[in-house]
Chain A
Amino acid sequence: MAKTDPKKNFLVEIKGVTKTYFPRKQFFARHQNKVLALNGIDLCIETGEIFGLVGQSGSGKTTTGRLLVRLEHPTAGHILFNKVPISGLKGPELKKFRSRAQMIFQDPYQSLNPHLSIAETVMEPLVVQKIGTPETRSEKVIHTLETVGLSPGKAFYNRYPHQLSGGQRQRVAIARAVVVEPEFIVADEPTSMLDATIAIQLFKLLREIKETFGMTFLFITHNLAAARYLCDRIAVIHEGHIVEINTAEKIIRNPEHPYTKKLIKVQPGFKYGR
């Protein structure tokens, strides 16, 4: 599957990662339940690419994203970030890693703290990472808000999440991830809650951010069309296994795995009389 090409520069390498969840045991249950979310996956993400991870609900795509930013630990296997295994990181090194790998969550209605103003939300990573002084921080926040299309930044600075639309909230979530200038961002279905016209504008923004900052993205989605639009390469994940990895174009034009073919067949489109 993922062949390691020594010429290529991989920012993230996943080697034989398995993740098993143990749901809380029912009081009268005789056996402990086990859920195998990921079953020995191998995946390499090149520096500077947008890598798409596509699969249906329960396929393990979100688990993969959470493992990569160390919100969870793999049951077995290794994850390398810049050739360094992230499972061994501790203390200051871990904190450093947190500023280098960020996440954008699916639901902007739940991922923003309603009690924090937009400024506080976006500034928090800077405060935690002790970047800059209070003055330079607020400048940085305004600049970042404008980068993500919330301009003028001052107009949004003191607002609260409930005063924003879904699309604007997701832009705030992107600003919060981008403000520490990470190398790697995991975007977990960032537009699945948003309307088509808003979603496409966010895709454009993610592309711009990639160009401007040279960031590497893992884009998690169930929408193959979106993955093809945004990504350089796509991996299709099914029941905890990666079933196919290829360039976005090849996955769509010449799918090899039956599951990929099925996914392509069920994508909604306009061919009326479908």
Chain B
Amino acid sequence: MTLLSVKNLSIGYKTKKGLLKAVDNISFDLEKGLPLGFVGESGCGKTTIGMALMGLLPENAVILEGSIQFQGEDLVRLTEKQWRKVRGAKIAMIFQAAMNALNPVHRVDEQIKEAIITHQPDMSDADLSDRLNALFDLVDIPVARMKDYPHEYSGGMKQRVIIAMALACDPDLIIADEPTTALDVIVQDQILKEIRKVQQKIRTGLIFISHDIAVVASVCDRICVMYAGQIVETGTKKEVFTSPRHPYTLSLLGSYLSLDNLDDIVIPDMQEPPDLLSDIGSCRFADNCRVCSETCKKEEPGWVQISATHKAFCCEPQIIRGSHGKN
């Protein structure tokens, strides 16, 4: 069953220099209870998508076209009052900066309680305390630490609290935007395991956003690769990792340093992504692409279907279909 269906979504930011199209004609579906990963470099629009799904776009942002269907409602059309019923209750977010996402002057349990009471004001004290215990248990924080202040927690524990807070109202969809970026590798590993465990246990839908492709891969079975405001490749984890098709995915994988792939590192010679203020009308990756042809500089790319779940956004279907390998 489809939980979330985004169709032809375009989002722009009004800037002094004109309209900056941060997200351009993006469509994707998310099945109920499954994780979906978004990966791309900074400025590719992945956070803008997350914010749009939470109804938290900044004031200068405009949804230019498209729809976000979620449980029979089009989120694009919601008023702020209607958003309040969705945000936190049905769709919740795990934010990036765990250090800043908690209020330093309130006890940790109070902050989670607040999230629950806002949406379920009738809950009895006994139920509330059961719920809190269950949540702390779920994210592996000793219940004895519940009444502490945020500064008494380590970075990893704060991030766990943020996860507990997102889960507080049992949402159907969780958006995790770079949840481990500020943490070091050891804590990152723990938090990723936590997110994976919790997601599998309570079967919530998850949109996981990160610039780190290996981090996304450790949580999600389906991955969307983004470049300059567009999704350029989407497929299962196995498809994207073992037979990447879009030239950008290839350079992203080829340049990622991990302990197992040191021998076949390919150093890309990449320019900055194109300026999103102007209308591009051709492939955005053309200037950096190794297999770029004349068509790519003139025409908008189209989707090339490789398997039922795997497709890439490119002007050259033959090249994409033929395996042009890692080099």
User: Is there a chain B Cβ closer than 8 Å to A222's Cβ?
Assistant: yes
Question: Which residues from chain A contact B268 at a C-beta distance below 8 Å?
Answer: 197, 200-201
Chain A residue with minimal CB distance to B288? A197
Asked if A201 meets B267 with Cβ closer than 8 Å, knowing A263-B186, A270-B241, the reply is: yes
CA A56 – CA B154 in complex, angstroms? 14
CA A195 – CA B43 in complex, angstroms? 11
A-B contact pairs, 6 of them (CB 8 A): A196-B257, A197-B251, A228-B262, A229-B265, A263-B186, A266-B189
CA A226 – CA B41 in complex, angstroms? 18
CA A235 – CA B83 in complex, angstroms? 51
Question: Which residues from chain A contact B189 at a C-beta distance below 8 Å?
Answer: 265-266, 268
Q: Cβ of A252 and Cβ of B259 under 8 Å apart? A: yes
CA A78 – CA B129 in complex, angstroms? 56
- In the complex, identify which listed stretch (B90-98, B207-215, B300-308) lies at the interface while the others stay far away: B207-215
- For A165, A262, A266, the residue with the greatest tally of chain B CB atoms inside 10 Å of its CB is A266
CA A272 – CA B259 in complex, angstroms? 14
Tally of chain B residues near chain A (CB < 8 A):
37
Within 8 A of A (CB), among B111-158: 155
Closest Cβ–Cβ distance, residue B116 to chain A (whole Å) = 32
Contact with B along A229-262 (1 / 0, CB 8 A): 1000000000000000000000010000000001
Question: Which residues from chain B contact A262 at a C-beta distance below 8 Å?
Answer: 186
Category for how many chain A residues contact B: 35 or more
- For A201, A222, A225, the residue with the greatest tally of chain B CB atoms inside 10 Å of its CB is A225
User: Is there a chain B Cβ closer than 8 Å to A80's Cβ?
Assistant: no
Contact with B along A46-72 (1 / 0, CB 8 A): 000000000011000000000000000
Question: Which residues from chain B contact A116 at a C-beta distance below 8 Å?
Answer: none
Closest Cβ–Cβ distance, residue B39 to chain A (whole Å) = 10
Q: Cβ of B41 and Cβ of A197 under 8 Å apart? A: yes
CA A222 – CA B155 in complex, angstroms? 16
Chain A residue with minimal CB distance to B261? A270
Closest Cβ–Cβ distance, residue B22 to chain A (whole Å) = 15
Q: Cβ of A222 and Cβ of B184 under 8 Å apart? A: yes
Question: Which residues from chain B contact A165 at a C-beta distance below 8 Å?
Answer: 272
Question: Which residues from chain A contact B183 at a C-beta distance below 8 Å?
Answer: 57
CA A195 – CA B39 in complex, angstroms? 11
User: Is there a chain B Cβ closer than 8 Å to A223's Cβ?
Assistant: yes
Q: Cβ of B259 and Cβ of A267 under 8 Å apart? A: yes
Q: Cβ of A197 and Cβ of B255 under 8 Å apart? A: yes
Q: Cβ of B262 and Cβ of A225 under 8 Å apart? A: yes
Q: Of the candidates A57, A200, A264, A272, which one forms a contact with B217 in the assembled complex, judged by CB atoms under 8 Å apart?
A: A272
User: Is there a chain A Cβ closer than 8 Å to B260's Cβ?
Assistant: yes
User: Is there a chain A Cβ closer than 8 Å to B160's Cβ?
Assistant: no
Within 8 A of B (CB), among A198-231: 198-201, 203-204, 222-226, 228-229
Q: Cβ of A57 and Cβ of B214 under 8 Å apart? A: no
User: Is there a chain A Cβ closer than 8 Å to B101's Cβ?
Assistant: no
Closest Cβ–Cβ distance, residue A220 to chain B (whole Å) = 13
User: Is there a chain B Cβ closer than 8 Å to A274's Cβ?
Assistant: yes
CA A200 – CA B257 in complex, angstroms? 8
Q: Cβ of B185 and Cβ of A56 under 8 Å apart? A: yes
Q: Of the candidates A196, A229, A266, which one forms a contact with B262 in the assembled complex, judged by CB atoms under 8 Å apart?
A: A229
